[in-house]
Structure 1
Amino acid sequence: MAADGARRPMAIVVMGTSGVGKTTAAKGIAAALDWPFAEADEFHPKANIAKMSSGIPLTDEDRWPWLRAIRDWIDARAEEGKDVVVTCSALKRRYRDLLREARADLRFVFLTADPALVAQRIGTRSGHFMPPELLRSQLADLEPLEPGEPGVAVGVDAPPEAVVRRAIEALGLTGKG
């Protein structure tokens, strides 16, 4: 709730390492709730994409402008009164803390999977700038949601529709239809 007692718009951040299905799950959640969707990769500066495409992990300094851009997008939608769904790896607590600065009721959906399954998924996808070699650095950086962080962990060991349903139910929301 906002200070005036009004409901703040909600922002769902679908998080996890590359290859867990963030985009698929986030699009499914957005469609089920009839909320706008944004893909965090589209907020990366060209220098970040070039770095990752070359197999070079991003540093915190590389990530801060990207995370601020996502936070600012959430803020802009919240000012319009819109609930939203956005993907973002949000691997570290301090990244999530920055996203929580948004003026929205921000909740995380942490997608979890066996690293072997994730590696297999990354190895078979095409057209993505994130090379499989960077999964190891993401797993090393990953700080799972901690007690007190607003969000839920959802396993991706099921078809996408089931993952979406699990996420919506775990958040205590109801989809359309």
Structure 2
Amino acid sequence: MKGRSIIVMGVSGSGKSTIGLKIAQQLGVKFIDGDDLHPKANILKMAASQPLNDADRKPWLERIRDACFSIEQKNEIGVIVCSALRKDYRDQIRDGNKAVTFIYLDGSFDLILTRMKARAGHFFSGDDMLRSQFNTLELPLKGEKDVLSVPINGTIDDIVTLSIEALKRD
């Protein structure tokens, strides 16, 4: 389906960037890492292990929403990585967009913490930051029919396959 944005969402360390890129590559579509759309102030705040607040997230979510709008208007398909932790954040992304699907990468705190500690070169760090993300996370509700939940306890290839299969069924 052309004119569609696929938002790969979840807490930091859930594999959004890796999974999102591989989904985009397998589908042959555009990939946007939402971390690249954060304003400079947000990046500096996260690098200092300070959690973002709603005021910090607002311009970032607007950029994500606008990227979805651009993809839709150009009749393209794009995969965008964005934590989209709360329903109102997802609603902000949905606002004015007709074809947005979220893939929620679903994993436990312990699994994600283990993976987060193993990675290098990311500006997000610290158990407290991950706990903050889990505290902020509002699990997708049954009424959010545009959110597909994918378990992340398998390999990267397993998660990508499950994600693509879920998109095909959607």
Name the TM-score class by shorter chain. over 0.9
Residue 122 (1) aligns with residue 116 (2): yes
The Cα of 1:102 is off from its aligned counterpart by 4.3
The Cα of 1:10 is off from its aligned counterpart by 1.1
Tell me how large the CA RMSD over aligned residues is. Answer: 1.5
Q: Which stretches of structure 1, 4 residues or longer, exceed 4 Å deviation after superposition?
A: none
Moved more, 137-146 or 125-134: 125-134
What do the CA deviations read for 1:31-68 (whole angstroms, capped 9, x no partner)?
Answer: 11111000000000110011111111000010010000
What do the CA deviations read for 1:54-106 (whole angstroms, capped 9, x no partner)?
Answer: 11100001001000011111111221110110000000000000101143410
Give the Cα separation in 1 of the matches to 2:96 and 2:153: 31
Aligned partner of 2:135 among 126, 134, 140? 140
DSSP-derived class of the 1:172 partner? helix
Residue 113 (1) aligns with residue 69 (2): no
Give the share of equivalent positions with the same residue, in percent.
Answer: 38
Q: Is the 2:84–2:90 contact (alpha carbons within 8 Å) kept by the matching residues of 1?
A: yes
Q: Is the 1:74–1:102 contact (alpha carbons within 8 Å) kept by the matching residues of 2?
A: no
DSSP-derived class of the 2:168 partner? coil
Partner residue, 2:147: 151
Partner residue, 1:92: 86
Gaps of 5+ in 2: none
Letter matched to residue 141 of structure 1: T
Partner residue, 1:71: 65
Higher helix content, 1 or 2: 2
Letter matched to residue 112 of structure 1: D
Letter matched to residue 136 of structure 1: R
Letter matched to residue 13 of structure 1: I
Letter matched to residue 146 of structure 1: L
What do the CA deviations read for 1:118-174 (whole angstroms, capped 9, x no partner)?
Answer: 111111211111012300100000001111211211011111111011011112269
Partner residue, 1:3: none
Paired residues, number: 168
Give the Cα separation in 1 of the matches to 2:26 and 2:96: 23
Gaps of 5+ in 1: 1-6
Give the Cα separation in 2 of the matches to 1:26 and 1:102: 23
Give the Cα separation in 1 of the matches to 2:152 and 2:13: 10
Q: Is the 2:46–2:123 contact (alpha carbons within 8 Å) kept by the matching residues of 1?
A: yes
Partner residue, 1:165: 161
Larger Rg: 1
